Amino acid sequence: MEIELRLVPENKRRPVPELKNLIFGRLFTEHMFVMEYDCNRGWHSARIEPYGAITLDPAAIVLHYAQTIFEGLKAYFGVDGKIRLFRPWENMRRLNRSAERLCMPKIDEDFVLEAIKKLILIDRAWIPREKGAALYIRPFMFGTEPSLGVKPSHSYLLIVILSPVSAYYQEGFNPVKIYVTDEFVRAAPGGTGEVKAGGNYAASLKAAEVAKSKGYTQVLWLDAVERRYVEEVGTMNIFFYFEDELVTPALSGSILPGITRDSVIKLARHWGLPVSERRVSIEEVIEGAASGRLKECFGTGTAAVISPVGVLCYQGQEYLINRGETGPLARRLFDELTAIQYGEKEDPFGWTVVLG
Amino acid sequence: MEIELRLVPENKRRPVPELKNLIFGRLFTEHMFVMEYDCNRGWHSARIEPYGAITLDPAAIVLHYAQTIFEGLKAYFGVDGKIRLFRPWENMRRLNRSAERLCMPKIDEDFVLEAIKKLILIDRAWIPREKGAALYIRPFMFGTEPSLGVKPSHSYLLIVILSPVSAYYQEGFNPVKIYVTDEFVRAAPGGTGEVKAGGNYAASLKAAEVAKSKGYTQVLWLDAVERRYVEEVGTMNIFFYFEDELVTPALSGSILPGITRDSVIKLARHWGLPVSERRVSIEEVIEGAASGRLKECFGTGTAAVISPVGVLCYQGQEYLINRGETGPLARRLFDELTAIQYGEKEDPFGWTVVLG
Ligand SMILES: Cc1ncc(COP(=O)(O)O)c(C=O)c1O
Ligand SMILES: Cc1ncc(COP(=O)(O)O)c(C=O)c1O
């Protein structure tokens, strides 16, 4: 399939605003990639066109039954002036796993990745240049059929939009305070927690609101069955550094298999640090925090890369981790991963893709 | 707040098509009700306008994080020529409970109900006249703010669309075959199962696909924790008639509190039949089916009113209920509820609202 280009004429382009102090996901570039699906024709009408409003029938399935999935990755402007993506195939594969779970059509991963690259190159002036800042890439796909029957849509849109984002840590690498919820549940085994279904995020808003009202930044979720085993935090996976072992919850079926999570596991093992993916109970975590056996705790995700956790609140009690400070392992992982992403260091794993 | 009328001029109205053999939720009437919300102005711009496409920013929250909820009720054309709604206040209250759970703004229940009545009267020619057929009413509300941060939207649309629907049982009152899934989970306690969040329905598509591929009409969901206690079926609540007791799963926090469910409970009690809301294990159900202790099983919901279950499939084994036939209790409940809805019988509970 060809990608049709319907670009904003050069002399009509918007000047790129100053890419500083951006609020995440509010500013978008000039173009977007769009592709349509219907049962008869399959995917068709792939095009890069000016960013702008889309029209939907009010009965479109996405508005009623939330048949929608998404991905999130970034393009980095390197110290060598090259633009890099970080493990983008993993996002394409995960998008297809999400599609499968929600009974949506598969995409051609290579084709969509090529379209994303093309789109980024067209809007390359929108990639912020400082270290830490990046161009956030948001592919998403949703059902558009106007039908109120609860069944998979016969038609879909896949869209990719781009948003310049500032460095996550604008004032230094600061540990966050996290609230462990035993009231709300994010996902159960047999549910949709291991894919990026839109509904998972709507379901998480309330717990985040409660956490925020109590002065915490994010929610740590426990498992749906025993409300005891740690799952993940907000939009990040979680790691615990116990004595000489780095531990992260095993992919239980209700945890999102984060690409940063996988990269941290591989990097730590590459350094010779033992990593285990297993069940971690909240008791083990708080006992470790109290005894000092838990040396560090941090979240991992595309947005922050590594987010050190300084305080955990569980059942009304606060637990300090590493005196509330960023630990050396979190720091080293952050430095190494960002060095790879920004082309400052060699990429021994073949994780980056250089554009253009 | 005033409702602005922007109606299709009388001489431009579409002729009403023949309201026969309609596929559920595909045909819509000429007008819709729309109301907008933003944090500064609250709800505003209420209007009844021609049914038609809506425009959304591609970054609108609903398309990414599924912040969307809905309701479903019907308007019935009575044997006396009067139009009736059935317990519509319950739908308004449930819409507000759904809004609360998804961090969305509350609506003024009286105002929206009045708007719905006005809309129905404008499009009254679209209400099918045969018994069993009705005008399906779909209020829904979703976040429109163009922002990729995972947080509640600052702006919303509430829309009501109307769809004429044929009688659910076009060829007689036929028992359905139901597949008990022990692979997929609909909702966990602490999740969103007790409200009408769009995401619940996207999450249910896969199990329905599996059931259909094996020759079953609907899925019976078990609880997320023990995978043992019956929850509900597809878009219906479920009842078991054991010897002389009518049983339905208690509202556990992950079951939708159906309005038909509540009506069946009240009606059966009114008739002097003991009803209990309690836990029902799948073993109790299949043992009851085998021994004959389970006399009837049926689903309840706005779409079908009562849907008798003739066959249950659990772990590869089929269980026949009441020889696969519709039982007298299901029949009596169906007849009585529809008689109230269509104004054929007195309404001792004050459930119906006559329009116009
Ligand atoms: C629920 C959830 N967990 C974890 C992650 C981290 O995944 P990744 O490292 O691929 O960004 C994300 C973000 O994508 C997420 O939404
Ligand atoms: C999941 C679910 N359960 C049960 C029901 C039945 O509810 P009601 O009787 O209010 O239509 C519905 C339909 O609204 C539903 O979507």
pLDDT tens-digit map of A99-111: 999 999 999 999 9
Rg (CA), chain B: 21
**Residue where a domain terminates, one of A136, A165, A194:** A165
Are residue B160 and residue B181 in the same domain, yes or no?
no
End-to-end CA distance of chain A: 20
Tell me whether residue B356 is in a domain: no
Question: What pLDDT, in 10s, does the model give residues A120-137?
Answer: 999 999 999 999 999 999
What is the C-alpha separation between A353 and A92, in angstroms, rounded? 14
Domain extent, residue A54, equals 4-165
State whether B153 and B281 are in the same domain: no
Pick the ligand that lies closest to the CA of residue B186.
Answer: 2
**C-beta B144 within 6 A of ligand 2:** no
Give me the number of domains chain B comprises. Answer: 2
Asked if A44 and A150 sit in the same domain, the reply is yes
- Is the CB–ligand 2 distance for residue B234 below 6 Å? no
Query: What pLDDT does residue B9 have?
Result: 95
Is B145 part of a structural domain of the chain? yes
Q: What is the pLDDT of residue A174?
A: 87
Contact: B68, A66; criterion CB under 8 Å = yes
Among B53, B58, B101, the residue with its CB nearest the CB of A206 is B101
- Comparing CA positions, the residue from A217, A175, A218, A186 lying closest to residue A320 is A175
Q: Does residue A204 sit in the same domain as residue A111?
A: no
Helices (H), B149-258: 198-213
**Contact assignment for A202 to B66 by CB distance below 8 Å:** yes
Residues from chain A contacting residue B62 (CB–CB below 8 Å) = 62-63
Residue identifier of the C-alpha nearest atom 1 of ligand 2: B235
Q: Which atom of ligand 1 is nearest to the CA of B150?
A: 16
For residue B205, give how far its alpha carbon lies from the nearest alpha carbon of chain A (Å).
6
Residues A322 and A210 in one domain: yes
- Given the CA of residue A236, which atom of ligand 1 is nearest to it? 4
pLDDT confidence of residue A244: 85
User: Is residue A347 situated within a structural domain?
Assistant: no
Q: Locate the ligand 1 atom nearest the alpha carbon of residue A90 and give its number.
A: 10
Suggest the residue from B63, B67, B141 to mutate for an interface test with chain A (most A CBs closer than 10 A): B63
Q: Of B165, B193, B223, at which residue does a domain stop? A: B165
Chain A residues with CB inside 8 Å of B224's CB? 188-191, 224-225
Residue B264 CB–ligand 2 contact under 6 Å: no
The Cα–Cα gap between A256 and A244 comes to: 25
Is there a contact between A199 and B204 if contact means CB atoms under 8 Å apart?
Answer: no
Co-location of B230 and B290 in the same domain: yes
CB contact under 8 A, B198 and A202: yes
What residues of A are in contact with residue B166 (Cβ under 8 Å)? none
B-chain CB neighbours of A206 within 8 Å are 101-103
CATH number at residue B332: 3.20.10.10
Check residue A172 and give its pLDDT: 75
Q: Tell if the CB–CB gap between B51 and A63 is shorter than 8 Å.
A: no
Per the CB < 8 A criterion, the answer to whether B102 and A202 are in contact is yes
Per-residue pLDDT, A169: 77
Claim to verify: residue A195 and residue A74 sit in the same structural domain: no
A66 located within any domain: yes
Binding site membership of A232 for ligand 1 (Cβ less than 6 Å): yes
Q: How much distance in Å is there from the Cα of A179 to the middle of ligand 2?
A: 33
> Does B239 lie in the same domain as B201?
yes
Does residue B170 belong to any structural domain of this protein?
Answer: no
Give yes or no for a contact between A133 and A14, defined as CB atoms under 8 angstroms apart: no
Cα separation of A203 and B224, whole Å?
16
Which of A57, A63, A163 is nearest residue B142 as measured by Cβ atoms?
Answer: A63
Tell me if A163 sits within 8 A of A27, measured CB to CB.
Answer: yes
Which residues of chain B register pLDDT less than 70? 171
Distance from CA of A348 to the nearest CA of B (A): 32
> How is residue A287 written in tokens?
């006992």
Cβ pair B236, B313 in contact under 8 A: no
Q: How far is the CA of A256 from the centre of ligand 1 (A)?
A: 6
Instruction: Name which of A32, A59, A204 is nearest B161 (Cβ-Cβ).
Output: A59
Q: Which ligand is nearest to the CA of B198?
A: 2
> Distance from B267 to chain A by nearest Cα, in Å?
28
Domain identity same for B153 and B235: no
Which residue from B56, B142, B235 is facing A150, i.e. has the nearest CB?
B235
Ligand 1 in contact with A263 (CB < 6 A)? no
Q: Is B236 in the pocket of ligand 2 (CB under 6 A)?
A: yes
pLDDT tier at A170, thresholds 50, 70, 90: confident
**Per-residue CA distances from B216 to B167, B210, B301, B311 (Å):** 21, 9, 18, 9
Q: pLDDT of A231-273, one tens digit each?
A: 999 899 999 999 989 999 999 899 999 999 999 999 999 999 9
pLDDT digits over A9-31, tens only? 999 999 999 999 999 999 999 99
Nearest chain A residue to B190 by CA distance is A184
Check A224 against B62: CB less than 8 A apart. no
- Binding site membership of A237 for ligand 1 (Cβ less than 6 Å): yes
pLDDT, tens only, A134-155: 999 999 999 999 999 999 999 9
* Closest by Cα among A37, A31, A146 to B58: A31
Same domain for A211 and A309, yes or no, is yes
- Of B132, B165, B198, the residue at which a domain comes to its end is B165
Query: How far apart are alpha carbons B118 and B135 in whole angstroms?
Result: 14
B interface test, pick of A135, A138, A142, A150 with most B CB neighbours within 10 Å: A150
pTM over 0.90, yes/no: yes
Atom of ligand 2 nearest to the CA of B94: 10
Element at A284 (helix H, strand E):
helix A282-291
Instruction: Compute the nearest-CA separation of B275 from chain A (Å).
Output: 29
Q: Which tokens hold the place of A184?
A: 């709300």
Q: Is residue A346 included in any domain, yes or no?
A: no
Answer yes or no: is the C-beta of B263 below 6 A from any ligand 2 atom.
no
The DSSP result for A174-213, as a single string, is: PPEEEEE-SS-----TTSSTTTTBHHHHHHHHHHHHHHHH
**Residue at A170 is within a domain:** no
pLDDT of the residue at B169: 77
Q: Is residue B284 part of a domain?
A: yes
Q: What gap in Å lies between CA B296 and CA B40, rounded to an integer?
A: 53
Residue B174 has what pLDDT?
Answer: 87
For residue A287, the SS3 value is helix
Query: At B143, which CATH number?
Result: 3.30.470.10
Cβ distance B24 to A67 less than 8 Å, yes or no, reads: no
Looking at the structure, tell me whether residues B130 and B259 fall in a common domain.
no
Residues B127 and B183 in one domain: no
pLDDT > 80? residue A63: yes
